[in-house]
Structure 1
Amino acid sequence: MNGPVVVGVDGSPSALAAVGAAAQEASLRGVELRVVHAFLWPAMHAPPRPSPLGPLTGALHETVERIVADAVERARSQASGLPVSHAVVAGEASTVLQAQSRRAQLIVVGHRGYGGFAELLVGSTAVHLSAHARCPVMVVRGRPEPAGPVLVAVDGSPGGQRAIAFAFLEAVLRGTDLVALHAWSTWTDHGEHALGRPVDVVDLVGDVDRLRQEEEQVLTEALAGQREQYPGVTVRPRLVRGRTRPALIEASANAQLMVVGARGHGGFTGLLLGSVSQAALHHAHCPVTVVRSDL
């Protein structure tokens, strides 16, 4: 796909950090960076107008111009020669950026901007886009390890293959290793409806070594196709016995990027974001890219 990398900006420090990450992504991919600012009159505390989407004038115009100009300047300082375009679009940020995602190859946003509830670890725009955008969404958060690997969560679900493919591509573009982490446990909730409690699978099969071998096979098979496509990528499979969310959060401390699917096995099928992707968005120590399986 030859679409641009799109970054949403609102003048917040988080958004400016996202601009830097987006500029890097656009430069690595050899595509245009598109800086997009969405505005609503009430959110900007502007005087009432005959139309809430009327032309930008006066102080509001100066504010918006400064936000966009600062973002463009940051992008060009991060990647010399990078083609950068910009747009100011009337509307709510989530809606505007979701529309932009239809022709983008990646949307980049900060983990939280201005507005909303200060106690939230990640803003509503980041969560909404991760669930609804028509391209992968990178949420810039934490302090990435510049020399670290790309980290991808592997659960063996068919939907997770797009996230794995994206992670391999990122490892190629960044010239770094790929850590593929698959967490497993002998405990499962699958039998809870029948037995009224979680079940220890060892009680059913009686062989923890066999379970470990089966989970290792899940990890191997999940990576096989992409390993063939990207033979130059150094892949470090990690099989972890324990819960997926804490294992990923811990591993993210040494990564430059985490990649997760929007949802995998388990959970409630009606939810667009699973518990693992939600936990990553809220707690990862590095930027997180969420890749939906239906893109």
Structure 2
Amino acid sequence: MNAPMPTRSPVVVAVDGSPSSADAVAWAAAEAGRHGLPLRLVHVCVPPAVTDPVGRDIWLDPLSSQGGHLLAEADDLAQRVHPGLRTCSELRHGFAAAQLLDAAADAAVLVTGHRGLGGFEGLLLGSVSGAVAAHARCPVVVVRGEAVTGGPVVVGVDGSPAGDAAIEFAFEQASTRGTGLLAVHAWSDVAYAGAWIPVPFVADWDALARDEERLLAERLAGMGEKYPEVVVERAVVRDRAARVLGSRSAGAQLVVLGAHGRHLLTGLGMGSTTRALLHHSRCPVAVVRT
């Protein structure tokens, strides 16, 4: 149902005609329906890499025509997922990541597939998906893995400002989905197995574990009162975050992460754990920044 976009922040989804894009459209339509938000379908026509303006113009009409067809198909899919959903379509020209970031300037969430039509065989994450996840101001959901309706929402808790924003987003997602929340805090970024460690340090493992449990409790404080309907399970694990969250993503509806954690180098768009999950998660991944 193409109509003028209402003033409420929309769910924005990238459309490129790939199977991954179709999964993203279906996920975005369901998300918009759950929250009572409009859906904005965006297709970007990428101009050919030619220097002759005449040569570029020859391609614009067929690219635009194909884009309009893809948007119409995406809108039809969105209506099948959530009949009566308010939608609008945008056909843009330019570089895909830049245009999607601009289209999502007022978005509640930006949704992409994990790879588009132009990816190399075997590529786990497309360049456009990675770019928007690293630089969008709104939460970004990269749709991958299996569609699961009965599992929990999983959130990685690391004590960073972006991690706190991820906790809020995860609780809201669990609430609207009517499911539980699994809050995971993995507190070892170092592989200790087989390493030489001073005996006094080894004796403090229990104390360190208690400190990490307190950190998790502090970060979740207040969420239970705000979302009393959400049943919360806590997991404090002495392991690498990417490995733990990757394992917990199996059977989950969504994994939610901050854009970067406590150890981010200045200027980087995403932390190593977030990048790893975008490549290897078995379910959709939401990347949230402050």
Aligned counterpart for 1:26 among listed residues 27, 32, 52: 32
* Selected match of 1:119 from 119, 122, 130: 122
Task: Return the letter of the residue paired with 1:252.
Answer: S
Q: Contact (CA 8 Å) 2:11, 2:108: kept in 1 or not?
A: yes
Runs of 4+ in 1 over 6 A off after TM superposition: none
Instruction: State which of 182, 187, 194 in structure 2 corresponds to 1:184.
Output: 187
Cα pair distance change 1:221/1:162, threshold 3 Å: same
Offset, 1:200? 4.9
CA RMSD of superposed structures (Å): 2.4
**How far off its partner does 1:52 sit?**
3.9
1:192 aligned residue: none
Q: Distance in 2 between matches of 1:54 and 1:262?
A: 40
2:171 is the counterpart of 1:168: yes
Mapped to 1, the partners of 2:254 and 2:58 lie a distance apart of 40
User: SS of 1:129's equivalent?
Assistant: helix
Match of 1:152 in 2: 155
The residue matched to 1:50 in structure 2 has which SS?
helix
In structure 2, the residue matched to 1:3 is 9
Change (3 A) 1:221 1:201: farther
Alpha-carbon offset, residue 157 of structure 1: 1.9
The answer to whether the 8 Å contact 1:178/1:236 transfers is yes
2:105 corresponds in structure 1 to: 102
Tell me what 1:195 maps to.
Answer: none
Tell me the amino acid that sits aligned with residue 237 of structure 1.
R
Gap runs ≥5 in structure 1: 190-197
**Do 2:141 and 2:285's aligned partners in 1 also have CA atoms closer than 8 Å?**
yes
Partner Cα separation in structure 2 for residue 110 and residue 282 of structure 1: 12
Q: 1:52 to 1:149 in 2, by over 3 A?
A: same
TM-score (norm 2): 0.90
1:76 Cα deviation after fit: 0.4
Aligned to 2:205: 208
Using the size of structure 1 for normalisation, the TM-score is 0.88
Q: 1:175 to 1:54 in 2, by over 3 A?
A: farther
2:54: which partner in 1?
50
Q: Which residue of 2 aligns with 1:275?
A: 272
Whole-Å Cα distance in 2 between the matches of residues 201 and 118 of structure 1?
47
Conserved in 2, the CA contact under 8 Å of 1:188 and 1:200? no
Could you tell me how far apart the structure 2 residues matched to 1:256 and 1:22 are? 14
